[in-house]
Every structure is written in structure tokens, then in C-alpha cells.
Amino acid sequence: MNRLNGKTAVITGGATGIGRAAAKRFIEEGAFVFIFGRRQEALDAAVADLGPNARAVKGSVSELADLDRLYAAVRNLARSWAEDLKGTGIRINVLSPGATATELAKEALGEEGQKVFASMTPLQRMADPAEIAAAAAFLASPDSSFMTASELAVDGGLAQL
């Protein structure tokens, strides 16, 4: 599986959860990754685990209002950039994960909260971070070569209800 040989990925939240799983998957697929995160200790541990094809950068987007605006902007920018980059071979897509069983989510939700989130999806469970990472690797790979300006919801069918 070397679909991402020669590629470089920038992964926010790469020290833990979905970001860490994505970094691991991208490296397995042959990419070099830069992971961004808030906590240097967690970043250092992630890089030690991920190996020589990972580097860490400390930074933060910690205000929830900023995140809400960021998510809306990403969707709109993807459509705009796809138009602007027409003919260049550069593809722009958005990955929208649903409830994912990261360590942070499990701690925050507790067992009952996890059951509530799981019950909301047709698949009756939360995603494993590796499932979201696989979708990210698909979007970055040649396997999605005819996709651009798309949003891929990996949410157990929740967006369709």
C-alpha cells in the first residue's frame, strides 16, 4: 500500500484521536506528515511512535467559535478552490467525520453518552479513528482521482437521516 508515495500531508490534531490515526495511515501509505497539535508532550510521543516520516508543529485553534467558522469556511473554500484550480490537476475535497470513539470523546461522553451517539446512526455505533483515517487516505490517493469539490461524510449514515 504505497498510494501516497512522494506526498506530504499536513494533519491538524495529529497527536491524538482521528489526526493520529490519519498520520499513521498516511505514513503506512508512503507519505511524509507534519502533525499539528496544542500539547508538545503529546506531539513528541506521537512522532516517536510514528517514526522518521513524521514531524510535529505546536499550534492551536482552541476557541469553539473559531472552529464553527472554520468548518463552514472549509466547505465553501473547497468549492471555490476547486473552481479556481480547474485544469491544474489539484483536487479539493472535504472529509466530515461523525461521532468517533477517540480517547477524548470516550472520556467526555462516558459510557451512556457513547450509547446515545451510537444510537443516532443507522450503523448503531461510533466510528473507530482508523475508519476516518482510511477515508482520508482514500481522498488523498489516486483512488479518488475523479473527485473534487466533494464532501465525504463518514458518519455512519447520520447526515442522511
pLDDT tens for 46-95 read 999 999 999 999 987 566 566 667 777 888 888 999 999 999 999 999 99
Q: Is the pLDDT of residue 139 over 80?
A: yes
Give me the pLDDT at residue 1, please: 72
Contacts 24+ apart (CB under 8 A), 85-91: 91/144, 91/145, 91/147, 91/148
Residue whose C-alpha cell is 481522498: 139
The CATH class of 8-156 is alpha beta
Task: Please provide residue 45's backbone torsions phi and psi, each rounded to the nearest 5 degrees.
Answer: -65, -40
Give me the pLDDT at residue 64, please: 58
Contacts 24+ apart (CB under 8 A), 78-87: 78/149, 78/150, 78/151, 79/149, 82/148, 82/149, 83/149
94 beta partners: 151
As a whole number of angstroms, the distance between CA 100 and CA 41 comes to 23
Domain residue ranges in the chain: 8-156
Give me the pLDDT at residue 115, please: 97
57 beta partners: 36
Q: What is the pLDDT of residues 22-32, one digit of tens each?
A: 999 999 999 99
Give me the pLDDT at residue 71, please: 74
